[in-house]
Amino acid sequence: MTMTDVRNLFSRTVRDARGSGHLVVQPRMGFSDVDKMRAGLQAVAALPYTVGTITLDSYTRTGQYEAAHDAVRNGRSLNGYPLLAHGPVRTSSLLASLRPDFPVQLRHGSPTPVDIFASMLEAGIHATEGGPISYCFPYGRTPLNTAVAEWARASELLASCPTEVHLESFAGCMLGQLCPPSLLVALNILEGLFATSYGIRSLSLSYAQQINPCQDIAAIRALRRLTTAFLPEMDIHFVIYTYMGVFPQSAEGARRLIIDSARLARQAGADRLVVKTVSEAFRIPLVSDNIAALKLAGEQPPGSYPTLDDGLSEVLEKEILSEAEAMLEAVLGLAPTVPSAILRAFKSGILDIPFCLHPDNANHARTEISHDGLLTWAYAGRMPVTSTQAHGRRIGATELQEMLGFIRRRYDEDPIAN
């Protein structure tokens, strides 16, 4: 590992906010126009306890750099910021227009991020996200062995930077929804172990709001416990995502879901919340949409869900912890190194992402929403899951569609009651 000269600003900002009892809120923001990107970041920086985001466009994240360059040359709008097309000089100038203590994270979605990271570091951005699992399976058909090799090179690049770089695992957001909490927890730990094996020391681990707050809090507690066991003495914080699945269409339903994600983050003791917007179901959010969502989330006081059952959370935490530990033990026992263990685990089906169509995923495992509103295993395939819920029941297309729309219906039909 290369010794670093400067503690990571992104991580330090979050840690300082935590020390003063505040939750850091962050948008999912990316614009192709430099001036618009600058204005968006300046608007976010004007709010208290925020960090900035530059989200890349789909051409850049999929390696279609010439298409991104062509769009910039011809003035065509993209669905994010084309980092390589704008180049590090323009991006560095953009960052220089912000106050110096305002950290910005690059969000990208690439299974092969070496070029992106090289440009990012040259521009002066020292926080990013992803991993060899979480940025391979959901986003395309890049072979897993290619993604693992590329993320090894990328992680070495990040670790070699004289200024410490912060990396956030995206494993808590696999496919956005319908991925059981124990699998999200185990994948976070595996991506954390992968990153630290290449010398990265500033990390955050993620978890996306699911369908039941008791289960979510139990999962975050389990993740904390396993982080202490597997990643001791690392600079780690925890980030919650507002629900990443099918979003409510009503403005009040969307507002309530955002509020509930902020309550979840505070009650679970998370350090950072990545916030979605009320317009999520209709369009790429405007700067004003993002600012309104950040204010809504940031203004929520600490408190609990009125119907939260701490006893149920304790029971669920034990179950999630047991399943995640079994997955980690099985995976890490397959090979002497984490990258090799990950490859063997997916090849054998010991790791299996439900409903994920990537060719390197077994796609045998299935989940269901139980009668009491929990996300559970319907069938675990070859995964080391012994839950009585993993009973081998088939999930048809109609039921899958019903599950995908579960949160939208709940919040649109009775947005005030949640």
Q: By 3-state DSSP, what share of the chain in percent is helix, strand and coil, each rounded to 5?
A: 45, 10, 40
Please report, for the domain that includes residue 188, its CATH number: 3.20.20.240
Separation of alpha carbons 129 and 171, rounded Å? 10
- How many domains does the structure of the chain reveal? 1
Alpha helices in 104-250 (DSSP H): 114-123, 144-159, 181-197, 213-230
pLDDT of 417 reads 58
pLDDT value of residue 283: 82
List, for residues 114-164, the tens digit of each pLDDT value. 999 999 999 999 999 999 999 999 878 999 999 999 999 999 999 999 999
pLDDT at site 5: 39
* Gap between the Cα atoms of 285 and 254, Å rounded: 13
- Ranges of residues in the chain whose predicted pLDDT is under 50: 1-5
Backbone phi, psi, residue 166, to 5°: -95, 135
Are 382 and 224 in contact by the 8 Å Cβ rule? The answer is no
Q: Which residues pair with 395 in a beta bridge?
A: none
Q: How far, in Å, CA of 126 to CA of 175, rounded?
A: 26
pLDDT of residue 251: 93
pLDDT value, residue 3 = 37
Which pLDDT does position 6 carry in this prediction? 54
The boundaries of the domain holding residue 347 are: 1-418
∠ CA 227-229-233, rounded to 5°: 70
Q: What is the pLDDT of residue 58?
A: 95
Q: Could you tell me which of 321, 358, 298 has the C-alpha nearest to residue 136?
A: 358
Q: Is 264 left (phi over 0), alpha (psi -120 to 50) or beta?
A: alpha
Q: Do residues 134 and 168 touch, judged by C-beta distance below 8 A?
A: no
Distance CA 279, CA 286 (A): 9
Q: Is 325 left (phi over 0), alpha (psi -120 to 50) or beta?
A: alpha
Quote the pLDDT of residue 391.
Answer: 60
Nearest to 95 by CA among 43, 37, 56, 24: 37
The answer to whether 198 and 156 are in contact (CB under 8 A) is yes
Q: What is the pLDDT of residue 4?
A: 39
Q: Are 325 and 227 in contact (CB under 8 A)?
A: no
The helix (run of H) or strand (run of E) holding residue 107 is strand 104-107
Q: What is the pLDDT of residues 305-364, one digit of tens each?
A: 666 777 888 899 999 999 999 999 999 999 999 999 999 999 999 999 999 999 999 999
